[in-house]
């Protein structure tokens, strides 16, 4: 009876540990990082889409690096840009950018550390490394 009880307790402990590691809530950093990548990718797709309005070409570049302090100004400029209000995809992107800005300045203000303030680095996206086959 005692070995069965030990096995049952061990099984409960292992299951609890497994559930806790998967159910951990996202941190401020992970949320900001994933949202910035999502916005950057959406902007890239928007610019390469052939079905979108020509005003998209005039939008400010939207390459985001949350480790760069200039990302705050970049987000403000993008959200405030007056063009393309008639394009639904642009309005959705502006809403995501506004959310990211709010998270950065309000919820995560004390949790984030900016490693640089190089505004020029946000003008030219870093290309992903080329994979050789």
77-122 per-position pLDDT tens digit = 999 998 788 888 899 999 999 999 999 888 887 777 788 888 888 8
Cα separation values, 87 from 51, 73, 92, 127, 130, Å: 11, 23, 9, 27, 33
Query: 10 in a domain, yes or no?
Result: no
Query: 16 in a domain, yes or no?
Result: no
When divided into structural domains, the chain yields a total of 1
Q: What is the domain extent for residue 118?
A: 26-122
Q: What is the chain's mean pLDDT, rounded?
A: 80
pLDDT of the residue at 42? 92
Query: 129 in a domain, yes or no?
Result: no
Integer Cα distance of 87 and 67 in angstroms: 30
Given a cut of 60, whether residue 22 has pLDDT beyond it is no
pTM, two decimals, is 0.70
Backbone angles phi, psi at 7, to 5 degrees: -65, -40
Query: What is the pLDDT averaged over residues 55-59?
Result: 85
Query: What is the pLDDT averaged over residues 34-53?
Result: 88
pLDDT of the residue at 109? 74
Query: 32 in a domain, yes or no?
Result: yes
Concatenate the DSSP letters of all residues of 37-85 into one string.
HHHHHHHHHHHH-SSS-GGGGGSPP----TTBTTHHHHHHHHHH--TTT
Helix (H) and strand (E) counts for the chain? 4, 0
Query: What is the pLDDT averaged over residues 11-30?
Result: 66
Query: 18 in a domain, yes or no?
Result: no
């Amino acid at each position: 009876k005692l070995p069965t009880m030990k096995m049952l307790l061990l099984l409960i402990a292992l299951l609890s540990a497994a559930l806790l590691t998967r159910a951990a809530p996202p941190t401020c950093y992970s949320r900001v990082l994933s949202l910035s990548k999502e916005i950057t990718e959406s902007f890239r797709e928007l610019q390469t889409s052939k079905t979108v309005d020509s005003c998209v070409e005039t939008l400010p570049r939207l390459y985001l690096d949350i480790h760069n302090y200039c990302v705050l100004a970049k987000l403000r400029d993008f959200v405030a840009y007056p063009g393309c209000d008639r394009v639904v995809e642009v309005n959705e992107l502006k809403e995501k950018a506004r959310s990211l800005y709010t998270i950065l300045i309000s919820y995560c203000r004390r949790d984030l550390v900016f490693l640089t303030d190089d505004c020029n680095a946000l003008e030219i996206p870093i290309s992903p490394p080329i994979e050789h086959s």
